[in-house]
Structures are given as structure tokens and as C-alpha cells.
Amino acid sequence: MIRVILIDDEPLARMVIREYLADFPQVEVLQECNDGFEGVKAIHQHQPDLIFLDIQMPKINGFEMLELIDQPPAVIFTTAFDEFAIRAFETHAVDYLLKPFNKERFGKALQKWIDQQKAGGKNESTNEVLEEAALTPSQKERVVIKNAGKIKIIPVQDIIWLEAADDYVKLHTREGAFLKNKTMGYFEKSLSPDQFVRTHRSNMVQVKEITRLEPYEKETWLAILRSGEKVPVSKTGYTKLKSVLGL
């Protein structure tokens, strides 16, 4: 039995997938979800083999939803029109369905996945797609995190500074610090370099939060933030800061 979940905010879009799935008796639809929040819950609850996922959805989009899941299941993306998403899929050869799609095309995508499973293939490419999708304009504006079981959307301008913490990155905001399971390198790529500067191997700072720079030890500095926090700045970080500030 292949256990699947359908996640799409348009009921008719889910209906058509259900209809096509009638020809695949080995597939069982565990649940239909209206948005990413329901999706996260349902995936944690059912641990499906495969999900059909729309990109443009209310509040959090399909990519952001996947970021919230520790071990995302296999995904077949469905989307009507999204240049960036399509570019991400094409670069990483993930299967995706462009709406409207017919039964043959749908069957092919599903069969391809089934064959991959038989061959013992894994879904490595999902993470790569997420990396790529992080560079799309909408993804650069906010970060979606899970905090004490709740999903929180943080607009990037609310992030004061970022700090590396083992496998996570700690996002410091006025409301406190939140963990995101990404690397500093990821944020360095996705955040606007004019707004955030990698001031140190293990931190990044939003430029407009800096009130002044103080010399610390030999060739290192301390950035004093508006919040009163002090963040170490390395020599390379200092050079970067100077060029962003136009000094």
C-alpha cells in the first residue's frame, strides 16, 4: 500500500488528483489538507510515503511547509505557474506536475516514483530543491520556524542577528531567539547581502541594528547592537561591514 497525503488549498485541485488515483488501487489517500499547517500536522501524524504538494498556499507555501518537517516524505509538486519553483524543480530533476495535467501525465509521475522506490532510490533531491527555492523572492522576505509545536513566521527585518548553534542557526529577534535547522551558509545565500552581513564565522548581523563598532582584541571588533547585545566581528567581517556601510 502506498500511503499518500494531498496538500492544496483549492478543493477542486485535490478532487482531480483523487479522481486520477482511482485507477491506482494500491494507493491510499490518508488525508487531504487545505494548507501547510494542516500539512505539517498530517505528515507528522501519518508519516506518509508520498505527498502531492501545491506551492502557492495561504500563510506558508509548499517549500516553507517542507522546511518544517524533519524528515520530509517523497514529494510530487503540483503548481499552476511559478517561474522560480519550476526552475528549482528543473535544476534538481524532481518530478512536478503543471496544472492542469491529464491522467497520463499524472500516471507517469506516480509510476516513476514507484519504480524509484523499487530500485531502492531515495528522495535526496527534495532538500536540494529547498535550497534552490530559498533563493526565490518570497522566501527571502521571511523565515518560517517551528517553536514549541507552533509554527511561526518571522519577517526577515525582525531578525536582529543570527548565530550558529551546532546543526541549527539561532535567530535573535525582539521576541526572543528561535532555532532553524539550516546552516549559516544557507542564510548567507538567501538573505540580502545589503541587509545582513556575515560578521563572523559563526554570526550574521542586520546592518541597521548596529549602533557602533568597538575594537576588542587584536584585529577583532565588537558590534554594539541597538538591543544592547554585543556581537563579535572578525577581520574579514569588519572589511565586509565597511564596504556595505560605504566606509
Partner 1 sequence: MSVSKFWTVFSACWVIAVTLQAKVVYGFGFSFQTALIDSLISVGTLSLLCLFLCGSLAYYLPEKSKYIYLVVWSVVLALLWTLYLKWGLPKPSTDVPGYVDFVERSLIVRFCIGLLATGSVALASLLWYSLQEQKEVEKRRTESEQMTREAELYKLRQQLQPHFLFNSLNSINALIGSRPDQARHMVQQLSDFLRSVLKKEESQWVSLGEELQSLQLYLDIEKVRFGHRLDATIDCDEATASMKIPAMVLQPLVENAIKFGLYDTTEAIQIPIRAYVDKGLLMVTVQNPFDPITHSPKSGTGFGLSSVRRRLYLLFARNDLLETTAGEQIFTATVKIPQPA
The contact set with partner 1 (CB under 8 A) reads: 9-13, 15-16, 19, 34-35, 37, 56-59, 80-82, 98-100, 102, 142, 153, 155
160/231 with CB nearer partner 1: 160
121: phi then psi, degrees, rounded to nearest 5:
-70, 160
19/28 with CB nearer partner 1: 19
- Minimum distance from residue 118 beta carbon to partner 1 (Å): 30
15/245 with CB nearer partner 1: 15
Residue 228 neighbours by CB under 8 Å, 6+ apart:
none
- Minimum distance from residue 208 beta carbon to partner 1 (Å): 15
117: phi then psi, degrees, rounded to nearest 5:
-65, -45
56/183 with CB nearer partner 1: 56
173/202 with CB nearer partner 1: 173
Selection from 203, 207, 221 nearest residue 165 by Cα: 203
- Minimum distance from residue 76 beta carbon to partner 1 (Å): 15
- Minimum distance from residue 142 beta carbon to partner 1 (Å): 7
166: phi then psi, degrees, rounded to nearest 5:
55, -120
Selection from 85, 95, 93 nearest residue 132 by Cα: 85
- Minimum distance from residue 73 beta carbon to partner 1 (Å): 22
Cα–Cα dist 115/49, whole Å: 14
- Minimum distance from residue 165 beta carbon to partner 1 (Å): 25
DSSP notation for 173-209:
ETTEEEEESS-HHHHHHHS-TTTEEEEETTEEEEGGG
9/229 with CB nearer partner 1: 9
Cα–Cα dist 232/200, whole Å: 7
User: How many CA within 13 A on the CB side of residue 77?
Assistant: 29
- Minimum distance from residue 168 beta carbon to partner 1 (Å): 22
Before 100, cis peptide (omega within 30)? yes
Cα–Cα dist 169/186, whole Å: 10
12/148 with CB nearer partner 1: 12
